[in-house]
Structure 1
Amino acid sequence: MNRSNGDVADRSKTSGSDFLQLNVGDAPAGGLSDWLARRLRLAISDGRLPVGSRLPATRVLAGELRVSRGVVTEAYHRLIEDGHVAGRGRGGTVVVAAPVSAPAAGGPRETVDPPSTSALFVAAPGADVYDALRAAPARIDLTPGMPDLAAFPRTAWLRAERTVVGGLAPSDFGYGDPRGTPALRHAVANWLARNRGIRADPDQVVIVAGTAQAFGLLAQVLRDDGIREVAVEDPGSLGARQHLNHWHLEAPPIPVDADGIRVDALRAQGAPVVLLTPAHQFPTGVVLGGERRRDLMRWADTEGGLIIEDDYDAEHRYDRPPVPALRSMLAEHVCYAGSVSKLLAPALRVGWVLAPPKYRDALVDAKRFADLGNAVLPQLVLAELMESGGMERQLRFLRPRHRRRRDAMIDAIGTHLPGAAVHGAAAGLHLTITFDAGFADVDLAAAALACGVKVQPLSWHSQRPTRPGLVLGYAARTPTEIGEGIATIGDALRRLSRSRHLTDDTRR
């Protein structure tokens, strides 16, 4: 229930608190919770409420401000949803994270130096573009690929950690198996059987440091086998393409349409390997259609092709039934890669690969000489979380939360970007929007960042000419932030359009 219109005992008398010098007289009529949440968020951002500090009890602050307790409770709840504070029972409500940046209350939006944004958003981004984009300051980050980090299951993780560490023998703190701990390989095999329809023996599982390392190791193995090309979807992930190129593999583009990758174009291109995101194509969000799947299986079976299946966010679905993994259909021709980056957090750097027998030993060798295997303790904790049912509980918790945020983004796009077409809404953690031609999407992305909103241009992920568009992540932001971010993009687009029209008039 929204209590933003909460009562004030007597608005003719100014009520306030020594805490942050809050003065109810500064609040707009009918928006007390919004006002209080903004003031608290600003204090967290500028350091007046550092991480670890405790907020006043709701009853106490409501009494000092002479407002209903529901006003304070709702303001605190909004900060909890944002991931800035957390309820600690008798320990009260505690600040746990600060925003990267926040606008002054009622003040103008912060901006980023225009030269830096224009240098970042170029048509041919370099290898460090993601590092630069992550480092760029912004009020609202709508870049794709990030789950709801505020929802990380801290309590469940700590419980699993205590269980694991309490039962370890001294010998368990030594070097581990480069393939991964037996406990995690067993847990991953069970997880894939339950959730992706893949039957695999734990010995077939190789634990890696995320999907990024999986691509790097596979690229080395394939190159040593004489392969020089891995075809990729177009549009398709810029990051995946960069990893292949780094290991001196060409990544020829294969067009994607409403049914997924064009298998006829794959055949015509002639590459022996293809990298796919069949359950939720990145970035368009389409699902590889049934006839395309059968045609792709025929290509692999009769022509000896190898499929690298990047199953990066298949568990996050909202409006459609589950889609089986390709690995479940033709295991000997599919190299399957997945991770917990979109389920829990990228910071864990834990993923897995199931390779066909032909490449399994070479993949283990590559992993061994890369790092001797992932860190053992996080593997054991993750295995405990997976086997205890904690991962399924987390997924059940996230789905409705993500759905609400997706719906908020779609609604905001309809309001502020009415000319945009929305793609890939049925699943995943991001949407792609496209526009009629007439401007460069890198210019729109730069203009949005200059106004404090971070996005990715669709052209980054396209090797061939395409309609201008943006790839927008919604899972890591609150509905309020999403609405403000899309409104800012709408403002940036209108300014860009006016500037273009002025330039055209001048040229006439």
Structure 2
Amino acid sequence: MENGWATFGADLHLELRGPKLRTGLMDALREAIRSGRLEAGVRLPSSRSLAADLGVARNTVADAYAELVAEGWLTARQGSGTRVARRAAPRPAAGPGTRPAPARPVTSRPTYDLKPGVPDLASFPRAEWLKASRRALTAAPHEAFGYGDPRGRIELRTVLAEYLARARGVYARPERIVVCSGFVHGLMLMAQVLRAGSSATPSGPGGKAREVAVESYGLSVHRDVLTGAGLRLRPLPFDGLGTRTEELGGMADVGAVLMTAAHQFPLGGALPPDRRAAVIDWARASGGLVLEDDYDGEFRYDRQPVGALQGLDPERVVYMGTSSKSLAPGLRLAWMVLPESLVDEVAAAKGTVDWMSSALEQLTFAEFLASGAYDRHVRAMRLRYRRRRDELVAAVAAHSPDTRVSGIAAGLHAVLRLRPGTEPDVLRSAAWHGLAVLGLDRFRHPDVPRTLDGLVVGYATPPDSGWAGALRALCRVLP
């Protein structure tokens, strides 16, 4: 058929040189593989397709393929076609008078990942989520697929209010909740409101908050969000009991404080009752706001539940939660429970329409919560993570008895305290052994003196098949 070549298989650009077609074809294929243009595993066109494309006899291509298979450049398997072999391509020879190129470090994914902050993604409840999605989609009103309320779907805010009151001790009503696409998104909105000036934060000229207090150790991305909005940061000192919130009284320009009270990240402790009371007393006396990051609030193992700070004063605390640790960060679902005076300002900062959070994901999560599937999932993961934590503690005790493990009563990570000055060497050893793990110094505020050495070990991420190997790799690098 005329122009039938246009319908044959995949395209492959080759330039044949020399009078002999088979030799030219083989040379062109070798060069394409040697240079990396054709990578290992790439499927080549069939002999018929390539012959039609190049305008040569099919036997010419078939013979060239067969010889390159014999040489090891290609592989051929029934039903799989002809592919580039997985072999190391020789380095091109250096020309006369040229120096060998310096060796470049090989970058690859680590063999084991023990970085904190990520749950067990393999345990995402796909079947239950799919059921919830079908029910939500069937029941969704037509208007749910429009632009929507910037605060989020009322179905989700209603169910969230019930759940947070029951499980976290949060005083919540649907009209006080704003759904966002992650904790960082919520923090960006709050930073915008604080910098612009709010009736809820009278600190500073014109009601603007000029400074925000933060914990000595925390995520740099959160600090960057606040400073990016034009706010100055003041780190709060800490001791063996946690953040010293009583120091807030001496910070005159501070209009808000960001805290992980239920499970401090990364050090791991819960804020003691007297210090919880101190931060609320400061907020009431100064008119400041507490930005509460309820980090790992659902996962506790050896202690009674620690309720949210927000329950102590709903008008002075902004409660911020997320599904990133309990389900998966890829859902991009988070929420803020706001003081009544802040709802309109935060909604205005978010925009006139809800363009950040998928209506279908919100409706599915609402159904997932209402059906009890979320509670069941959290309880199952709590048992799973506790077993992982116990195995981690036992392995460290057996192989490195001088290493103290802390911050393990809740959450998805543990802190392994190291001797002063040893953290950099341990991290280099971990990288050498293919182990991804973070040091405490990564989370230290730049203005805080370095007094702690340690590893922040996330025990949720590795799959079951890799967990034992990850523990062995960790124990090998411990002093």
Q: CA offset at residue 115 of structure 1?
A: 5.6
1:141-161 per-position Cα deviation (integer Å, ceiling 9, x unaligned): 111111111111111101011
Match of 1:375 in 2: 358
CA gap 1:474/1:459 in 2 versus in 1, 3 angstroms: same
Contact 1:301 1:333 in 2 (8 A): yes
Match of 1:396 in 2: 379
Match of 1:260 in 2: 242
CA gap 1:486/1:255 in 2 versus in 1, 3 angstroms: farther
Do residues 228 (structure 1) and 210 (structure 2) align? yes
Contact 2:299 2:412 in 1 (8 A): yes
Match of 1:457 in 2: 439
Contact 1:114 1:450 in 2 (8 A): no
Distance between the aligned counterparts of 2:286 and 2:354, measured in 1? 35
Contact 1:409 1:479 in 2 (8 A): no
Do residues 408 (structure 1) and 391 (structure 2) align? yes
Match of 1:431 in 2: 414
Residue aligned with 1:316, SS = coil
Q: CA offset at residue 491 of structure 1?
A: 2.9
Pairing 1:299-310 to 2, within 5 Å after superposition: 299-310=282-293
CA gap 1:476/1:197 in 2 versus in 1, 3 angstroms: same
Distance between the aligned counterparts of 1:138 and 1:214, measured in 2? 32
Distance between the aligned counterparts of 2:246 and 2:330, measured in 1? 39
- More displaced 10-residue stretch of structure 1: 467-476 or 445-454: 445-454
Contact 2:214 2:259 in 1 (8 A): yes
Distance between the aligned counterparts of 2:150 and 2:319, measured in 1? 18
Which residue of the other structure, out of 200, 207, 226, is the alignment partner of 2:172?
200
CA gap 1:403/1:176 in 2 versus in 1, 3 angstroms: same
Distance between the aligned counterparts of 2:144 and 2:299, measured in 1? 34
Do residues 488 (structure 1) and 465 (structure 2) align? no
Distance between the aligned counterparts of 2:401 and 2:410, measured in 1? 22
Contact 1:405 1:479 in 2 (8 A): no
Distance between the aligned counterparts of 1:395 and 1:371, measured in 2? 28
Contact 1:259 1:292 in 2 (8 A): no
Q: How many residues align?
A: 365
Paired residue type of 1:481: G
Paired residue type of 1:158: L
Q: CA offset at residue 474 of structure 1?
A: 0.6
Structure 2: gaps of 5 or more residues = 1-39, 42-102, 198-207
Q: CA offset at residue 446 of structure 1?
A: 3.6
Paired residue type of 1:258: G
Larger-Rg structure: 2
Match of 2:52 in 1: none
Paired residue type of 1:155: A
CA gap 1:160/1:446 in 2 versus in 1, 3 angstroms: same
Distance between the aligned counterparts of 2:270 and 2:223, measured in 1? 20
Distance between the aligned counterparts of 1:282 and 1:141, measured in 2? 19
Match of 1:147 in 2: 119
Which residue of the other structure, out of 458, 468, 472, is the alignment partner of 2:453?
468
Contact 1:178 1:374 in 2 (8 A): no
Distance between the aligned counterparts of 1:379 and 1:400, measured in 2? 27
Match of 2:162 in 1: 190
Match of 1:346 in 2: 329
Q: CA offset at residue 242 of structure 1?
A: 2.3
Distance between the aligned counterparts of 1:370 and 1:180, measured in 2? 9
Pairing 1:53-452 to 2, within 5 Å after superposition: 137-225=109-197, 226-270=208-252, 271-368=254-351, 372-439=355-422, 441-452=423-434
Distance between the aligned counterparts of 1:336 and 1:401, measured in 2? 27
Contact 1:258 1:286 in 2 (8 A): no
Distance between the aligned counterparts of 1:114 and 1:267, measured in 2? 53
Distance between the aligned counterparts of 1:183 and 1:169, measured in 2? 11
Pairing 1:18-33 to 2, within 5 Å after superposition: none
Residue aligned with 2:237, SS = strand
Structure number with higher helix proportion: 1
Distance between the aligned counterparts of 1:237 and 1:114, measured in 2? 31
Q: CA offset at residue 220 of structure 1?
A: 0.8
Contact 1:416 1:486 in 2 (8 A): no
1:59-82 per-position Cα deviation (integer Å, ceiling 9, x unaligned): xxxxxxxxxxxxxxxxxxxxxxxx
Q: CA offset at residue 443 of structure 1?
A: 4.2
The TM-score with structure 1 as length reference comes to: 0.68
Q: CA offset at residue 349 of structure 1?
A: 0.5
The two structures, once aligned, show a CA RMSD in angstroms of 2.2
CA gap 1:443/1:177 in 2 versus in 1, 3 angstroms: farther
Contact 2:404 2:416 in 1 (8 A): yes
Contact 1:409 1:482 in 2 (8 A): no
1:340-371 per-position Cα deviation (integer Å, ceiling 9, x unaligned): 11110000010000122332211101111696
Structure 1: gaps of 5 or more residues = 1-45, 48-112, 118-135, 495-508
Distance between the aligned counterparts of 2:417 and 2:247, measured in 1? 24
The TM-score with structure 2 as length reference comes to: 0.72
Q: CA offset at residue 412 of structure 1?
A: 1.6
